[in-house]
Amino acid sequence: MDSPLWIDTHAPGIGDLPQEELREYLSRVSAGPINLLLYGPPGSGKTAAVRALAREVHDDPENDLVEINVADVFDSTKSEIADDPRFSGFLTSQRRREFSKADLINHVVKESASYSPVSGSYRTIVLDNAEAIREDFQQALRRVMERHYEATQFVVTTRQPSKLIPPIVSRCFPVPVRAPTKGEVVSVLESIVEAEEVAYERRGLELIASHADGDLREAILDAQTVAEEEGEITPGTVEVLREVGYDDRIEGMIGRAMEGEFTDARSALDDLLVDEGLSGEEVLSAVVRVARARDLAEEPQLAALAGEIDFDLATGTNERLHLAHLLSELGPD
């Protein structure tokens, strides 16, 4: 996408966050520099919530909010880190070979915490994707939090709070961030596309929300993709998204059927037919395509089964029954 991302241009305030309980939590902690632990699944809005809080409590959030994505360091090689301009001040030529990732993060956090706030009485330091933090750095972080508690608010976001040591958790007010419901995602998308003056049908937004499966960030990016490529968001224009992203789920369904786990396979089938709104023909087509592309079934058997089920779908009325029959035929003898 060449145009600005909707996730940035339509960044929410606290009152715009889709989860009511999250709005209540953040409203309660906006009065002072309380350390926070935001935990929830990917795409649920943890980072967006922290930024919304920063805009609420800081007169100059651009300078008093420091975001550090821990995964950018711990998931990168030392060469990649050494070439990253964000860390050039720390990585002098003498230290390029000998630094540790934990030392780097520790230095950046301590340096950021030592600066005086540009406006107001405190700064906010966000440690994103904290599940990537090693225990030795967590111990160092605990000491930094203790030393700078008066002028620095620490916000830790993570998908896995169990990865954090108890001293870190005990120093933070816990804020659970659940995945938004399909209806909440649709409401967010509706407000954005109306602001962008994009023609849409609600069913198209519902399909995008279903495809994103609780990942609000993905839903917004998908909506922008469809709007820019198709000019409108309708059930017809989001077809490309309905095909993308199901392959792994289809493969899992086929795999469970072939292993004889028919209850789980039928449950996955129900998710595709009911929750995702796919037609029987779409599921059958995806099963054939994925099975062939990933060599999951013998070609003659698959072709014969597909032809039989396709005829049944065209003449019958119970899509689930016919597709469940297909799954049972893929199972072990």
Q: How far is CA 20 from CA 43, 179, 184, 222, 247, in A?
A: 17, 12, 10, 24, 33
pLDDT at position 195 is: 96
pLDDT per residue as tens digits for the range 230-255: 999 998 888 766 555 577 788 889 98
pLDDT per residue as tens digits for the range 263-310: 889 988 988 887 777 778 888 888 887 787 667 777 777 888 888 888
Range 182-243 has CATH code 1.20.1050.10: no
Which CATH class, in words, describes the domain spanning 247-330?
A: mainly alpha
Q: What is the DSSP letter of 100?
A: -
pLDDT at position 94 is: 43
- The whole-angstrom separation of Cα 40 and Cα 43 is 9
- The whole-angstrom separation of Cα 269 and Cα 263 is 10
Burial of 208 (0-12, 13-18, 19+ CB in 10 A): buried
For the chain, 333 residues long, give each residue's pLDDT as a single digit of tens: 567 899 999 999 999 999 999 999 998 887 778 899 999 988 899 999 999 999 999 999 988 998 888 777 766 666 666 676 666 666 654 455 566 666 777 777 887 888 888 888 899 999 998 887 878 888 888 888 888 888 899 999 998 898 899 999 999 999 999 999 999 999 999 999 999 999 999 999 998 988 787 889 989 998 998 999 899 999 888 876 655 557 778 888 998 898 889 888 998 898 888 777 777 888 888 888 778 766 777 777 788 888 888 888 877 667 888 898 888 888 876
pLDDT at position 260 is: 87
- The whole-angstrom separation of Cα 174 and Cα 25 is 9
- The whole-angstrom separation of Cα 273 and Cα 210 is 12
Segments making up each domain of the chain, as ranges: 19-176, 182-243, 247-330
- Token look-up 């005829």 returns 311
Quick one: CATH architecture of 19-176?
A: 3-Layer(aba) Sandwich (3.40)
CB atoms within 10 A of CB 254: 23
- Token look-up 């929750």 returns 275
pLDDT at position 75 is: 64
Domains 182-243 and 247-330 share a fold: no
**Which residue type sits at 203?**
R
- Cα of first residue to Cα of last residue in the chain, in angstroms, is 49
C-alpha 143 chain-centroid distance: 30
pLDDT at position 244 is: 54
Longest dimension (CA), the chain: 75
Within 8 A by CB and 6+ apart from 252, the residues are 268
